[in-house]
Amino acid sequence: MSDILEVHNLAKSYGDFKAVKGITFGIADGEIFSLLGPNGAGKTTTISMLSTLFAPTSGDASIGGHSVTQDPMAVRRIIGVVPQDLALYEDLTGRENLTFWGNMYGLGGAALKARVSEVLEQVGLTDKGNQRVKTYSGGMKRRVNIGVGLLHKPRLLFMDEPTVGIDPQSRRAILDTVKDLNRQGMSVLYTTHYMEEAQELSHRIGIIDHGELIALGSLQELTRSIGELETLRLHVAEDAEAARLAAALQSLPGVTRVDTTDHQAVLMTPDAEEVLPAAVSKANEISIKIRSIDIEEPNLEAVFLNLTGRALRD
């Protein structure tokens, strides 16, 4: 399968600050690729360069064979962008917003009218299309925001954290829309700091932190890279207790790694159920009361923790 997007050593600096440090990756035609990383990792800067909003400091990328630095206008015709923040006119209706943005992409006449109706149906807002956007709920606004990116049927859709700050029902609708678009053949570059979204949607995932792409592969490849480790989370009352507990659990047999985060001691182990009794008894020994326990299958959170020593939400 050919690559719709090829990124080569793409970098962006602001003075001495390096926001993106020379990342390289590709997205195949028809693929959903997630860029997973905490806030400030460089996800939005990467999308801004790929969508031709900012010129990279160095490196380049090609989309559908067009360089983002040499031929930005050609790139813009084949990409769709759903920005992280809503970019809509609140005093226009949903239909008027879509019509305006359709015009910006060179659509017009009866074809635009039909396409606007189609997109309204696609994002589930046909009956609300003639109401002003300012009357919409947050989730509905997000859906119009996505609809704008779909109007001209782009080959590659950039979605920058499209589910931030919305209710679970709208979030579910957005994730289903992404899957539906992909089924229709659209390639998607999806950025998120929600591990579950990346796991659910992606064919492949790139993990980005401090402007560097620190891991790249399918979910299976990434979890396998850390040895299929399970995560055992021991929740305690305060961070100081979590630190004492983590120190006590370091030497426990079968424990590969111990970290602390948010009132938790987090153990990476090949078999969490086997380690659990010993961990609880160790906590009793040092008089720390465990409030709750979570066991997680190998996942991206564990991968991120293993690679950076921090949780995704830190």
Footprint on this chain of other proteins (rule: CB under 8 A): 51-53, 55, 72-73, 76-77, 79, 81, 83, 85-89, 91-92, 96, 100-101, 103-106, 108, 132, 148
DSSP 237: S
Separation CA 118–CA 141 (nearest Å): 17
User: Considering the complex, what minimum distance in angstroms separates the CB of residue 52 from other proteins?
Assistant: 6
Our CB check for other proteins shows the closer of 73 and 110 to be 73
Residue 41: what residue type? A
User: 84 or 225: whose CB is closer to other proteins?
Assistant: 84
Looking at beta carbons only, is 72 or 270 nearer to other proteins? Answer: 72
The C-alpha atoms of residue 248 and residue 279 are separated, in whole angstroms, by 9
Is the torsion defined by CA of 197, 198, 199, 200 positive or negative? positive
Q: How far is the CB of 98 from other proteins (least distance, A)?
A: 12
Rounded to the nearest 10 degrees, what angle do helices 94-104 and 138-150 cross at?
30
Alpha helices in 132-291 (DSSP H): 138-150, 168-183, 195-201, 219-225, 239-249, 272-285
Let me know how long the chain is: 314
- Least separation, in Å, of the C-beta of 108 and other proteins? 7
Measure the CA–CA gap between 298 and 248, rounded to whole angstroms: 24
What's the closest the beta carbon of residue 312 comes to other proteins, in angstroms?
25
Q: Is the Cβ of residue 91 or residue 314 nearer to other proteins in the bound state? A: 91
| Smallest separation, CB 211 to other proteins (Å) | 21
Least separation in angstroms between CB 129 and other proteins? 16
Choice between 28 and 86, CB closer to other proteins: 86
Instruction: Give the Cα separation of 34 and 248 in Å (integer).
Output: 37
Tell me the closest approach of the beta carbon of residue 37 to other proteins, in angstroms. 21
- C-alpha to C-alpha distances, 200 to 48, 89, 172, 178, nearest whole angstrom: 24, 32, 11, 11
Task: Select 44 or 308, whichever has its Cβ closest to other proteins.
Answer: 44
Cβ-based nearer residue to other proteins, 104 or 286: 104
CA distance linking residue 106 with residue 179, whole number of Å: 27
Whether 300 and 205 have beta carbons less than 8 Å apart is answered as yes
